[in-house]
Amino acid sequence: MPANIALVDCNNFYVSCERLFRPDLRNKPVAVLSNNDGCIIARSQEVKDLGIKMAVPVHQVKHLVEQHGIQLFSSNYPLYADLSARIMHSLTAFSPATEIYSIDEAFIDLDHASVGATELGLEIKKSLWQWVGIPVCVGIGPTKTLAKLANYAAKKWPKTGSVVDISDVVKRKKIMQITPVGEVWGVGRCLTERLNALGIDSVWDLQSQSIGAIRRNFSITLAKTVKELQGMPMMPFAEPAKKKQQIICSRSFKTKLTDQYELAQTLSVFCLRAAEKLRAQQGLARKVTVFIRTSPFDGTNAYSKSVSYKLTSATQDSRELLKMTKQLLASIYKPGYQYQQAGVMLGDIVCLQGSKAKQQDLFSTTADVRSEMLMKTLDEINQRFDNSITLAAVGNKKLWQSVPINRSNQYTTDWKGLAKVKIQ
């Protein structure tokens, strides 16, 4: 386990990605919207200062958007994913061991650094800004939880230079004493309320507790968190990511769907996307679940239903999964309702290293091998040519998807989206 761990966290990541190609928006209020442009999912500091909360519906803050000229962007996930990949690759230049925690966060091992931890943190911050153009904060500590705490301090207090090292016990205590316990990694709102009721208000109060008392009154997980706050590493570094046991693809619709055919087309899109993710992790699904539901808030009779089916033989073939998806939909669809959400879940997943490990049933034939080859070819073509091939069942209209009117160009992943330079 590393004696020093750094958490590198991008500042307001989605907003920073948008500002990268729109430098005129720096220091101006910017927000990024969810799918279908319904809610705010990323905010610049200027937007946060206006009191706009995360996940608030746009229509509730429309007056603030207009009053303060907030620039709204539709989600541009290809751009965000590409810039994230560049950042994570850049971090490998500073350490032989990195652990990607999320799209905008990564832990790195500093044990092999030839310079001091703070100096290296400043170099990481400077380099990522120069190489990728995304601002970051760096928190450094002897455990992952302490590195998270240090990163919070780096974001909270700009005078730190966006780099905070709390390896020193005295400095660590000062930060813990002025930081609310709710800022500890893994301590949510409900747990915060329980801790506050016992007089545990700051991070220092929490780390001062007896491990035995925390285990008895709360959980083993919180006990491990307290140990981490006390400087005892409890979370393995660079633990291999576990493959998913369930894959879900679902959406809420801006325009409600009523027709079974429209729902079938929509679920077909979700099923194919889930199947792609299944094959990407070399998995086979033995269970398919379909669910549909209306909005419980529109003043009409609500309807929500899900149904599952256990397949005879595990598969990753989009055609088989799609056939079952349509059959399941037909069994739960009711006319006369306005459906707001639907989804497909592939479960009971067997993760394999290769097709040779697949256990065939008694009636399997060479068609299984041809199926896997076909799916592999389909995925390779779609990866290279931007999802240019699909099954006819999907149709050519994404009825569930509204046109994002505020989406920026895919500057780094699409030739048509390349930034243009004007020469005067």
Instruction: Give the Cβ contact number of residue 349 at 10 Å.
Output: 20
pLDDT-based confidence at residue 7 (cuts at 50, 70, 90): very high
DSSP letter assigned to residue 417 = G
What is the mean predicted confidence (pLDDT) over 320-335? 95
C-alpha 237/C-alpha 15 separation (Å) is 29
Asked if 315 contacts 374 with a C-beta cutoff of 8 angstroms, the reply is no
pLDDT-based confidence at residue 356 (cuts at 50, 70, 90): very low
C-alpha 177/C-alpha 303 separation (Å) is 50
For 229-283, what is each residue's pLDDT tens digit? Answer: 999 999 887 666 667 889 999 888 878 899 999 899 999 999 999 999 999 888 9
What is the mean predicted confidence (pLDDT) over 365-387? 78
Q: C-alpha angle 113/118/124, rounded to 5°?
A: 70
* pLDDT for the residue 378: 85
Farthest-apart Cα atoms in the chain, separation: 72
* pLDDT for the residue 357: 46
For 53-62, what is each residue's pLDDT tens digit? Answer: 999 999 999 9
pTM over 0.75: yes
Burial track 183-211 (b if 16+ CB lie within 10 A, e otherwise):
ebbebeeebbeebeeeebebbbbbbebee
* pLDDT for the residue 73: 95
pLDDT-based confidence at residue 415 (cuts at 50, 70, 90): confident
CATH numbers and ranges of domains, the chain: 247-394 (3.30.1490.100)
| Token pair recorded at residue 160 | 């730190």
Is the pLDDT at 214 greater than 60? The verdict is yes
